């Protein structure tokens, strides 16, 4: 008997991210937002009839990319504070600007801009850390974007909250509001060891255990952060958190640029996930993470863009290209890392970093139908001997043609389905004018 299903996509190639194989002559069957199966083209008509079907003869189909570390609303600060050190960037520009402008409306508008850019870049889930997460969640749900949103905590007051307890109370209230929403998951998000006290880390860790939540934190981003910690505690930030007893597989740490072998061993021993943000680390002059040391220790590495104020593009494909090239260069080793490995970091490992590997990150039966198609037909992509190599070395995000999230189409032939781009652009002019007057 032929089964009626919602969607069948028949691309030229499929990369499932389960192994390193690129499939051909295979279609993907989607029903009720989930992947039903990957099936050889020759038998599909015997089994299924679809309400919608796409024959994408020049396309590579992949799991949606996961941006494992970002601050979506900061898109409104894109290009506002370039070419500064992290300390000066944060203290002289970003924190004063946030004090002046960040409120519910800022976060709503900034998140919408970020989500539009991310969908056009083939990103179907983002892991966020910012103020007013409820506003980001509302925008994401309205559009149909998937997000893991942090309950942010800093030791000092901001427009959003007055003290650590206030941050936590607001974060937990936000979590309660969105607990039934399938597109939204949450984590605890202490900003960084230099901005969060031991007492707050211990409290957050208790909540993480009780509520079975991940902790998303900035860690070892700059040399200064480590030098200050050594002066204050006699320990690196990683060693300090290890001594506190708060590390474990529930921690996903953004950056981890400067690590001693002891620090690397602590990450490995605790089965922590590192979120690698190569462009942000380069642009802020923070340094180059020791990815080889992490891979040698089998540490899970996911990929993030960081916020638009320290990267200027929410573009995971670009991060993968940079990551490949830098790591070959610094290790003087051309066969170090390959495109399949990098795409897995940006899909399956991204899902692990937010505790969603059972639902996201690869194309297999039962997982959410978060899918992207890349049009490989343009001349700069030809000839194509290995589509994954072509994608990461010759391709770019403007070739992402179609995006589905939970089986719902979000972009068709580069046109966003649920976002009015003209309206979005019209609203941005006023923000640009306001922010440039600071
Ligand atoms: Zn960050």
Ligand 1 center to 69 CA (angstroms): 6
CA distance linking residue 123 with residue 115, whole number of Å: 9
Ligand 1 center to 8 CA (angstroms): 37
CA distance linking residue 15 with residue 362, whole number of Å: 9
Ligand 1 center to 44 CA (angstroms): 44
Burial class (CB in 10 A: 0-12, 13-18, 19+), 166: middle
Ligand 1 center to 287 CA (angstroms): 15
What was the pLDDT predicted at 90? Answer: 84
Backbone angles phi, psi at 150, to 5 degrees: -80, 145
Ligand 1 center to 334 CA (angstroms): 30
Ligand 1 center to 434 CA (angstroms): 24
What was the pLDDT predicted at 104? Answer: 97
Ligand 1 center to 256 CA (angstroms): 11
284: nearest Cα among 199, 348, 221, 367: 221
Q: Domain-by-domain residue ranges, the chain?
A: 3-63+367-416, 65-353
Ligand 1 center to 109 CA (angstroms): 19
What was the pLDDT predicted at 34? Answer: 98
What was the pLDDT predicted at 87? Answer: 81
Q: Are 9 and 373 in contact (CB under 8 A)?
A: yes
What was the pLDDT predicted at 421? Answer: 97
Q: Are 146 and 89 in contact (CB under 8 A)?
A: no
What was the pLDDT predicted at 77? Answer: 94
Ligand 1 center to 283 CA (angstroms): 13
Ligand 1 center to 147 CA (angstroms): 16
The number of residues making up the chain comes to: 438
Ligand 1 center to 312 CA (angstroms): 13
Ligand 1 center to 22 CA (angstroms): 33
Evaluate whether the domain defined by 65-353 bears CATH number 3.20.20.140: yes
265: nearest Cα among 302, 220, 226, 298: 298
Question: Low-confidence residues of the chain, pLDDT below 50?
Answer: none
**What CATH superfamily is the domain 3-63+367-416?**
Urease, subunit C, domain 1 (2.30.40.10)
What was the pLDDT predicted at 54? Answer: 98
What was the pLDDT predicted at 438? Answer: 61
Ligand 1 center to 102 CA (angstroms): 16
Ligand 1 center to 430 CA (angstroms): 26
Ligand 1 center to 86 CA (angstroms): 11
What was the pLDDT predicted at 220? Answer: 98
Ligand 1 center to 395 CA (angstroms): 26
Q: Are 119 and 145 in contact (CB under 8 A)?
A: yes
HSE at residue 29, side-chain half, CA atoms within 13 A, is 18
Ligand 1 center to 215 CA (angstroms): 14
For ligand 1, a single-atom ion, the residues with CB < 5 A are 306
> Residue 292, SS3?
helix
DSSP string covering 189-253 = EE--TTTS-HHHHHHHHHHHHHHT--EEEEES-SHHHHHHHHHHHSS-HHHHHHHHT--STTEEE
Ligand 1 center to 71 CA (angstroms): 6
Ligand 1 center to 267 CA (angstroms): 19
């Amino acid at each position: 008997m032929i089964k009626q299903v919602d969607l069948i996509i028949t691309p030229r190639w499929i990369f499932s991210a389960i192994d390193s194989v690129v499939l051909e002559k295979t279609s993907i069957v989607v029903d009720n937002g989930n992947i039903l199966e990957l099936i050889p083209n020759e038998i599909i008509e015997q089994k299924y009839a679809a309400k919608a079907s796409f024959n994408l003869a020049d396309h590579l189909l992949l799991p949606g990319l996961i941006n494992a570390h970002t601050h979506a609303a900061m898109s409104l600060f894109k290009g506002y504070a370039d070419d500064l050190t992290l300390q000066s960037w944060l203290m002289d520009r970003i924190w004063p600007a946030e004090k002046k402008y960040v409120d519910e409306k800022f976060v709503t508008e900034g998140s919408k801009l970020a989500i539009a850019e991310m969908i056009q870049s083939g990103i179907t889930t983002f892991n966020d850390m910012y103020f007013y997460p409820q506003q980001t969640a509302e925008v994401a749900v309205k559009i149909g974007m998937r997000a893991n949103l942090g309950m942010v905590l800093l030791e000092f007051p901001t427009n959003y909250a007055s003290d650590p307890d206030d941050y936590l109370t607001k974060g937990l209230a936000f979590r309660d509001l969105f607990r039934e929403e399938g597109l939204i998951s949450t984590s605890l998000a202490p900003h960084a060891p230099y901005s969060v006290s031991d007492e707050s880390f211990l409290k957050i860790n208790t909540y993480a255990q009780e509520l079975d939540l991940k902790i998303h934190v900035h860690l070892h981003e700059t040399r200064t952060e480590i030098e200050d910690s050594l002066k204050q505690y006699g320990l690196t930030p990683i060693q300090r958190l290890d001594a506190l007893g708060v590390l474990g597989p529930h921690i996903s740490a953004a950056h981890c640029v400067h690590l001693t072998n002891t620090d690397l061993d602590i990450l490995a021993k605790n089965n922590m996930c590192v979120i690698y943000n190569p462009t942000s680390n380069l642009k802020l002059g923070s340094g180059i993470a020791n990815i080889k040391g992490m891979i040698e220790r089998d540490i899970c590495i996911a990929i993030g863009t960081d916020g638009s104020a320290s990267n200027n593009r929410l573009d995971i494909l670009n991060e993968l290209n940079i990551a490949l090239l830098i790591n070959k260069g610094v290790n003087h080793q051309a066969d170090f890392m390959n495109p399949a490995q990098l795409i897995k970091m940006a899909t399956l490992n991204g899902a692990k970093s937010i505790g969603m590997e059972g639902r996201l990150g690869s194309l297999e039966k039962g997982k959410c139908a978060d899918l992207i198609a890349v049009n490989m037909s343009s001349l700069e992509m030809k000839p194509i001997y290995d589509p994954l190599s072509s994608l990461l070395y010759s391709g770019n995000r403007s070739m992402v043609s179609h995006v589905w999230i939970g089986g719902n189409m979000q972009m068709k032939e580069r046109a966003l389905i649920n976002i009015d781009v003209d309206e979005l652009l019209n609203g941005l002019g006023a923000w640009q004018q306001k922010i440039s007057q600071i």
